[in-house]
Amino acid sequence: MGSSTAYQVAKRGQKTLLLEQFDFLHHRGSSHGESRTIRATYSKDYYFPMVIESYKLWEEAESQIGYKVYFKAEHLEMGDSRDKNMRGIIHTCHKYSVAHEILDRQQVANKFSGRFDIPENWIAVFTEYGGVIKPTKAVSMFQALAFQKGAVLRDCMEVKDIRKDNGVKGGVWVYTSNGEKFWGKKCVVTVGAWTKKLVKTVSRVELPIQSLETTVCYWRIKEGNEEKYAIGGDFPTFGCQGEPHIFGTPSLEYPGLMKVMVHGGYPCDEDKRPWGPVMVLESLKEWVEERLSGMVDSRAPVATQLCMYSMTPDEDFVIDFLGGEFGKDVVMGGGFSGHGFKMGPVVGRILADLVLTGEAKGVELKHFRIRRFEENPQGNVKDF
């Protein structure tokens, strides 16, 4: 989110500095690795226009840099026909006139030539809006584009505090733990799993954002079936609503392996990571065995990778002014709750708008305000 914002701000001709606490492209946050799904199947309909804008901005950024970070696929969302989120997804499709197919068990089996097998009482929603984004490559792309537009990029720079300048200069001072300080008219804070800690230090506001350690799992496609599940054919990105909430991508990054993982993870302290155990639920193995028609080896994943989620209680993002003494000078974007990557470009656009103009068009920010936690501390969990 920070790299995308830096690009957006620098593109508008503003002097921009991007600070990162670790090495650039490190593996200790949320945005490293090989694949993220982009899909429009949101039951909370206000995400739909954001996804559509993101598709456009991903394409625009790719054309600027000259290489691909997005790989096209269609998308299939499945679940119990009575599931609230499934019904919400269908509502979103209707509201925005999105071309979609609602499929029953037999229709899913026919459409995907037996590669998915859903129970009788389930349905699936199929749309053209799917695909895979390569996260590390995409972050690097935004950094390169920001640099091209004149931004200064500094890594191994941990921000330890942000203070308002109370003198005639105005603006904000940013202090780093190695003793440097930087001044800017405005500041955008996008510190992922460290949001709760930094925001508390800076403004005393305690945000209910929980760090989770989550596990990416890659499963071996059984011999002879590899092509059937590869990207570039007709196998879609997919999600499965319910408990556990599962999602996956066609094989792309590791030929012959497919990513299928659970949405969520173990609560942890982002500075004292347990680095395991990897989360491979029995129910995930069963899902791989049954839903992928026995064509993928479900005994255990053959490769795993750990990653961080920063979860809000309602799984909605936090995009807002920090307020207090900072007024509109400090904007934050955090709590992306395991579904933010696809939105990187639009979030960057929104954060840049907010910090430069004080408002952002085309987005219902009320869902992302800090204030909502005071009004409804628990949120309506598990509803996106």
Shortest distance, CB of residue 310 to ligand FAD, whole angstroms? 6
The smaller minimum CB distance to ligand FAD, of residues 106 and 303, is found at 303
The sign of the CA dihedral 312, 318, 324, 330 is positive
The smaller minimum CB distance to ligand FAD, of residues 43 and 214, is found at 214
Residue of 232, 281, 228, 230 whose CA lies nearest to 259: 230
Whole-angstrom distance, CA of residue 35 vs CA of residue 31? 10
Q: Between vectors from CA 15 to CA 13 and to CA 17, what angle results, nearest 5°?
A: 130
The smaller minimum CB distance to ligand FAD, of residues 112 and 336, is found at 336
Q: What is the DSSP letter of 73?
A: -
* Binding positions for ligand FAD, rule: CB under 6 A: 1-2, 19-22, 29-31, 36-37, 158-159, 190-194, 198, 214, 216, 307-309, 334, 336, 338-342
Q: What is the DSSP letter of 318?
A: E
Shortest distance, CB of residue 323 to ligand FAD, whole angstroms? 19
Shortest distance, CB of residue 195 to ligand FAD, whole angstroms? 8
Shortest distance, CB of residue 231 to ligand FAD, whole angstroms? 14
Shortest distance, CB of residue 160 to ligand FAD, whole angstroms? 7
The smaller minimum CB distance to ligand FAD, of residues 58 and 336, is found at 336
Pair 114, 228: CB distance under 8 Å: no
Pair 274, 268: CB distance under 8 Å: yes
SS3 state of residue 62: helix
Residue of 77, 98, 90, 110 whose CA lies nearest to 236: 77
Shortest distance, CB of residue 32 to ligand FAD, whole angstroms? 8
The smaller minimum CB distance to ligand FAD, of residues 88 and 333, is found at 333
Pair 8, 18: CB distance under 8 Å: no
The smaller minimum CB distance to ligand FAD, of residues 37 and 92, is found at 37
